[in-house]
Structure 1
Amino acid sequence: MGDTVSLPNLSTKVVAIAAGEAHTLLLTGDGRVYSWGRGILGRLGQGSEHDKHFPVEVKFGSEEDSVRIVGIAAGAYHSLALADVDNAPGSGT
């Protein structure tokens, strides 16, 4: 068994967890994603390749254009997040 990881103080329930080769994703009921583990190849979505030993929220878009995530998946060297298209920021007709 590996080490125990403390989760951030969440105000909503966890609805999904995805595990890659050496990283983990967590999705909350309000559409937030947290990642931790090995950051090589940018698989944590944190904008760097640094390892994270504790869950850190992944930011999608700017503060004004918050994106609600409805699904997550992780593979050996990648992470995926599925956005709620009806509520995603954008422009056009």
Structure 2
Amino acid sequence: MDLAVYGIALLPVIIGIVHLFKVFGFPCRFSPILSIVIGIVMSHVYVDPGDFKKAFFVGLWLGLCATGMHSGFKNTMIGASKKQKDEDENKPC
């Protein structure tokens, strides 16, 4: 299977699943680890189920990319609004 098609499509799915975990009480500080674990599992299931090494590294890449995309988007949106930034500093996540 081609990573360019399936891997990129899995990034927002990973971000969404991690967000759902956080909504239901998962600690925010462990969300990058959860993202990596979900990326590895999804890679083994969807991207390359036959090759363990390739699926592991692709899954690691997917989890790290999903974490970076979420963090970058969040920091950009917070930086764009000073009021939102002041409110978010008081929140745990």
Superposition TM-score tier, normalisation by shorter sequence: under 0.3
- Greater share of strand residues, 1 or 2? 1
TM-score by length of 1: 0.22
More helix by share: 2
TM-score normalised to the size of structure 2?
Answer: 0.22
For the pair shown, which has the larger CA radius of gyration, 1 or 2?
2
